[in-house]
């Protein structure tokens, strides 16, 4: 989910219609968004991630205007003319940026645009900064996928070049600094450089924009030059660039920004991006075209629409549609990045119609219901144990070595590790249940005794042969904590369970690290060991902060 | 299977979709992960090819999120998920199923909201009205599986699927406030023993 901060009055003005807070809640709900909060004029709106076109208030107002029927159909955007070129040097292929902790990719793509004839006030500038930062944080994955630079045009001499330069040869005065710095110095001493140093660390060269006067305009994705300046209330014309590791997201980002500036009244001019081997024109306002059959709509939504009605609904979602026989030719705006398949178009028809206007019908699929045999047996076992007065509990699967082994007086066995655990005490998956039940006894040490509990649940053990290199094993663990608890009490429960399941579970003497020597045994089924039972060692009881004897057993239920 | 998934992700495969574009990295996909949502298991089950169509399946799953623990969030919780595979299943069928599901929980005041899931389109969230809090809450997320999601498994029939936070539902049914009040190893045995379990209506 993406949450945007904007202003209620701005949104109202841009939509071109007055609405109350309650009405806005309803409109956004039906569109699939949510008004999270309104405090005075400040509002927070939750968007779904595929509607990055609504990240700017202008984009959101555009969508609402169409949805309300105020201005429907395909919004038209055009590039006035190609204003200049940007040469893209292949040296950028050597600049590697970590797109995630495991992978690096070359920062080799760039798209540009110019917008002229703008008027900026304080609110507009704040909106632009907010949109830029939100795109950086969400769509561009904290600048790992791409970076955006917006500059006043007047100090830039076209044409420009995007290239890689040795980090100590890069010398310019970055924004918010009072002197010239090298690329390395920026990463070490400048606040933006330090915050985003992880993006460029380890490279000998960093990306730079250079204009026709060989001035450095910026070092993406870190910081712009102080000499080109910041957009302020006197700015009329701007230059926008997006650089990054993949071309498609940059085209989308540029699209969101240029359409926003066009909606502000600006005129968009384009660039020829000169890559080695190909030339790309940006920005790209090419619409997306797809043809669907009317019956496909019924097949997906369950409602028959006439071509006329379907067309009107599509126009409320900013598409245009023309009937050709029994097919609809649909044209979608370039900023709708979520149109991958015919189902996306039909989904829009559904949203425009209004989900709460549809008549639900129970699916006509006849099947015979059942529960998997293993599940039924586990449920029946739980019933028997509950009938014996034990309480069923459910504990956590994530744990640590100290709980699983040290506190149980034993050594660790192979287990599944979690290397990047955010909670350091939850860095492995349990291999047995008994310690988890002890943890529960510890939480309950101030409650009444006797405490008689059990759990039937999965543990995970490594398995080299499995495709996921591990396997789930279902186990049953039972503990009785009581002043008079002894081996016989545990054996009685085991016997009752065994008899109710028609299996012969037997016990043969065996010592374990966590039990009192001579007061424990292995549980066997047809001679094979399937578990253990006994009186717990006083050290284990002390380790868990308890003051009463504890007895119990744990069985591997794989034999079911 | 990996080749089919890569093809659909990048270019849409044979579905007529444009695909996501980008590059699907099989090495990254092979890394082991504790499931973060139950839908992962639905698709693993599709992969076993044990489905007898038409069919309706449901299951309860422990899911894991690598996040810091606080008053309202744990690292593990439970989801319930189900799907129906059959001929001609549409959005109104999904709505009908979800409506009936809520009815069995004793809830009839519900609203539908369009939502986004990468693997379903259309997607639907069903909100119910909490009379005490005087607020609408989302409990069930659902949708119709996209052609791109089904294509690597060769499933040609329509599939509607739904999922919900099981702990959330338990919180509501037990009239509690937080997941920590009804789930976890720290729960009081006394409370567990004293809860009424025989109720004439939910």
A483 touches chain B (CB under 8 A): no
Chain A residues whose CB is inside 8 A of the B19 CB are 340
Look at B192 and A393 and tell me if their CB atoms are within 8 Å. Answer: yes
Look at A367 and B190 and tell me if their CB atoms are within 8 Å. Answer: no
Among all chains, which residue has been given the structure tokens 């016989």? A488
- Distance between CA atoms of residues A419 and A373, nearest Å: 36
Better pLDDT: B73 or A311: A311
Decide: helix, strand or coil at residue B13: coil
- Distance between CA atoms of residues B69 and A422, nearest Å: 9
pLDDT exceeds cutoff 90 at B179: no
DSSP secondary structure string, A386-406?
HHTTPEE----SEE-HHHHTG
Look at B193 and A391 and tell me if their CB atoms are within 8 Å. Answer: yes
pLDDT tens across the length of chain A (560 residues): 899 999 999 999 999 999 999 999 999 999 999 999 999 999 999 999 899 999 999 999 999 999 999 999 999 999 999 999 999 999 999 999 998 877 899 999 999 999 999 999 999 999 999 999 999 998 898 999 999 999 999 999 999 999 999 999 999 999 989 999 999 999 999 999 999 999 999 999 999 999 999 999 999 999 999 998 899 999 999 999 999 999 989 999 999 999 999 999 999 999 999 998 899 999 999 999 999 999 999 999 999 999 999 999 999 999 999 998 889 999 999 999 889 999 999 999 999 999 999 999 999 999 999 999 989 999 999 999 999 999 999 999 999 999 999 999 999 999 999 988 888 899 999 999 999 999 999 999 999 999 999 999 999 999 999 888 999 999 999 999 999 999 999 999 999 999 999 889 999 999 999 999 999 999 999 999 999 999 999 999 999 999 999 999 999 999 88
A163 touches chain B (CB under 8 A): no
Among all chains, which residue has been given the structure tokens 């920062």? A107
User: What is the average pLDDT across B116-138?
Assistant: 90
Burial code of B134-171, b = ≥16 C-beta within 10 A, e = fewer? Answer: eebebbbbbbbbbbbbbbbbebebbbbbbbbbbbbbeb
Q: In whole angstroms, how large is the CA radius of gyration of chain A?
A: 33
**Residue A367, min C-alpha distance to chain B (Å):** 6
A26 touches chain B (CB under 8 A): no
Residue in B20, B75, B90 closest to A300 by CB: B90
Decide: helix, strand or coil at residue B68: coil
Sign of CA dihedral A152, A154, A159, A160: negative
Cβ-proximal residues to A359 (8 Å cutoff; 6+ apart), any chain: B92
The confidence score (pLDDT) of residue B147 equals: 92
- The structural domains of chain B, with segments of one domain joined by +, span 1-32, 33-191
pLDDT exceeds cutoff 70 at B195: yes
Give the number of A-B residue pairs with CB atoms closer than 8 Å: 184
A421 touches chain B (CB under 8 A): yes
Look at B112 and A351 and tell me if their CB atoms are within 8 Å. Answer: no
Quick: pLDDT tens for B23-38.
Answer: 677 777 778 889 999 9
Fold entry, domain B33-191: BirA Bifunctional Protein; domain 2 (3.30.930)
The confidence score (pLDDT) of residue B3 equals: 75
Residue in A100, A356, A361 closest to B112 by CB: A356
Chain A residues whose CB is inside 8 A of the B189 CB are 391, 393, 440, 444, 447, 451, 453
A248 touches chain B (CB under 8 A): yes
The strand pairing partners of A88, in sequence order, are A162
The confidence score (pLDDT) of residue A434 equals: 98
Mutate to test the interface with B, among A291, A363, A399 (most CBs of B within 10 A): A363
- Distance between CA atoms of residues A149 and A281, nearest Å: 18
Residue in A355, A393, A448 closest to B190 by CB: A448
Residue in A49, A343, A364 closest to B147 by CB: A343
Q: How many CA atoms lie within 13 A of A15 on its CB side?
A: 24
Helices and strands (DSSP H and E) totals, chain B? 7, 6
Q: Which residue of A has its CA nearest to B95?
A: A360
The confidence score (pLDDT) of residue A325 equals: 83
Residues A157, A213: contact at Cβ < 8 Å? yes
Residue in B68, B92, B116 closest to A360 by CB: B92
**CA neighbor of A345 nearest in space, from A306, A304, A288:** A288
Chain A residues whose CB is inside 8 A of the B18 CB are 339-341
DSSP secondary structure string, A37-95?
EEETTEEEEEE-TT-GGGSSHHHHHHHHHHHTTSS-SPPP-----EEEEEEE-GGGGG-
Look at A393 and B67 and tell me if their CB atoms are within 8 Å. Answer: no
A358 touches chain B (CB under 8 A): yes
Ramachandran category for residue A40: left, alpha or beta (phi over 0 → left; psi -120 to 50 → alpha): left
In this structure, what are the phi and psi dihedrals at residue A447, rounded to the nearest 5 degrees?
A: -90, 180
The confidence score (pLDDT) of residue B134 equals: 85
Look at A393 and B189 and tell me if their CB atoms are within 8 Å. Answer: yes
The confidence score (pLDDT) of residue A419 equals: 86
User: What is the average pLDDT across B59-71?
Assistant: 86
Confidence of residue B201 (pLDDT cuts 50, 70, 90): low
- Distance between CA atoms of residues B117 and B96, nearest Å: 20
């Amino acid at each position: 989910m993406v949450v945007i901060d904007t202003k209620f009055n701005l949104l109202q003005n841009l939509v071109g219609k007055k609405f109350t807070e309650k009405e806005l809640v309803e409109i956004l709900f039906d569109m699939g968004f949510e008004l999270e909060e309104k405090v005075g004029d400040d509002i927070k709106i939750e968007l779904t991630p595929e509607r990055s076109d609504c990240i700017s208030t202008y984009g959101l107002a555009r969508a609402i205007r169409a949805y309300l029927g105020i201005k429907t159909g395909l919004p038209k955007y055009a590039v006035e003319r190609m204003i200049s070129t940007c040469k893209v040097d292949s040296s950028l292929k050597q600049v590697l940026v970590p797109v995630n902790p495991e992978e690096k990719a070359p920062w080799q793509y760039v798209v540009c645009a110019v917008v002229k004839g703008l008027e900026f006030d304080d609110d507009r500038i704040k909106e632009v900064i907010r949109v830029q930062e939100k795109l950086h944080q969400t769509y561009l994955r904290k600048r790992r996928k791409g970076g955006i630079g917006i500059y006043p045009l007047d100090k830039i001499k076209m044409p420009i070049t995007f290239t890689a330069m040795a980090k100590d040869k890069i010398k310019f005065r970055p924004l918010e600094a009072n002197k010239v710095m090298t690329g390395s110095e920026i990463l070490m001493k400048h606040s933006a450089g330090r915050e985003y140093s992880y993006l460029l660390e380890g490279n000998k060269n960093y990306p730079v924009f250079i204009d026709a006067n060989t001035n450095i305009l910026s070092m993406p994705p870190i910081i712009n030059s102080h000499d080109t300046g910041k957009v302020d209330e006197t700015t009329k014309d701007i230059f926008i660039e997006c650089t990054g590791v993949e071309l498609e997201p940059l085209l989308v980002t540029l699209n969101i920004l240029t359409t926003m500036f066009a909606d502000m009244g600006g005129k968009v001019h384009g660039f020829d991006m000169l890559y080695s081997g190909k030339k790309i024109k940006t920005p790209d306002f090419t619409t997306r075209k797809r043809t669907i059959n009317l019956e496909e709509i019924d097949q997906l939504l369950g409602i028959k629409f006439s071509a006329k009605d379907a067309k009107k609904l599509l126009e409320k979602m900013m598409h245009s549609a023309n009937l050709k026989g029994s097919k609809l030719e649909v044209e979608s705006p370039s900023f709708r990045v979520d149109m991958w398949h015919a189902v996306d178009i039909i989904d829009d028809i559904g949203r425009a119609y209004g989900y709460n206007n549809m008549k639900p019908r129970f699916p006509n699929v006849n099947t015979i219901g059942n529960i998997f045999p293993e599940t039924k047996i586990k449920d029946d076992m739980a019933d028997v144990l509950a009938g014996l007065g034990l309480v069923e509990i459910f504990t956590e699967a994530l744990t640590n070595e100290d709980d699983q082994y040290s506190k149980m007086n034993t050594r660790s066995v192979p287990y599944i590790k979690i290397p990047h655990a955010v909670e350091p005490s939850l860095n492995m998956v349990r291999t047995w249940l008994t310690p988890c039940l002890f943890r529960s006894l510890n939480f309950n040490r101030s409650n009444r005794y006797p405490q008689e509990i059990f759990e039937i649940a999965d543990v995970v053990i490594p398995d080299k042969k499995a495709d996921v290199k591990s396997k789930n094993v279902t186990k049953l663990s039972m503990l009785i904590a009581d002043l008079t608890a002894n081996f016989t009490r545990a054996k009685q429960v085991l016997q009752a369970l065994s008899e109710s399941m028609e299996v012969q579970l037997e016990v043969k003497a065996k010592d374990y690290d966590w039990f009192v020597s001579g007061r424990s045994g292995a549980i066997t089924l047809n001679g094979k060991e399937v578990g253990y039972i006994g009186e717990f060692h006083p050290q284990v009881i002390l380790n868990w902060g308890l003051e009463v004897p504890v007895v119990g057993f744990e069985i591997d239920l794989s034999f079911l | 299977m990996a080749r089919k998934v890569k093809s659909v992700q990048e270019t849409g495969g044979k579905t007529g979709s444009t695909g996501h574009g980008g590059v699907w990295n099989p090495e990254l996909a092979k890394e082991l992960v504790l499931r973060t949502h139950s839908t992962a298991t639905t698709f693993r089950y599709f992969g076993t090819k044990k489905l007898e169509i038409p069919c309706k399946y449901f299951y309860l799953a422990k899911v894991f999120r690598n996040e810091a623990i606080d008053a309202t969030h744990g690292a593990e919780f439970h989801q319930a998920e189900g799907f129906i595979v059959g001929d001609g299943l549409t959005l109104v069928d999904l709505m009908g199923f979800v409506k009936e599901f809520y009815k069995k929980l004793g809830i009839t005041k519900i609203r539908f909201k369009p939502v986004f899931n990468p693997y379903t389109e259309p997607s639907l969230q069903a909100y119910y009205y909490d009379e005490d809090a005087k607020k609408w809450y989302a409990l069930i997320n659902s949708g119709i599986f996209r052609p791109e999601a089904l294509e690597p498994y060769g499933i040609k029939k329509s599939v509607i699927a739904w999922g919900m936070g099981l702990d959330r539902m338990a919180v509501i049914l037990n009239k509690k406030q937080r997941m920590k009040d009804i789930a976890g190893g720290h729960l009081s045995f006394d409370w567990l023993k004293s809860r009424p379990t025989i109720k004439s209506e939910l």
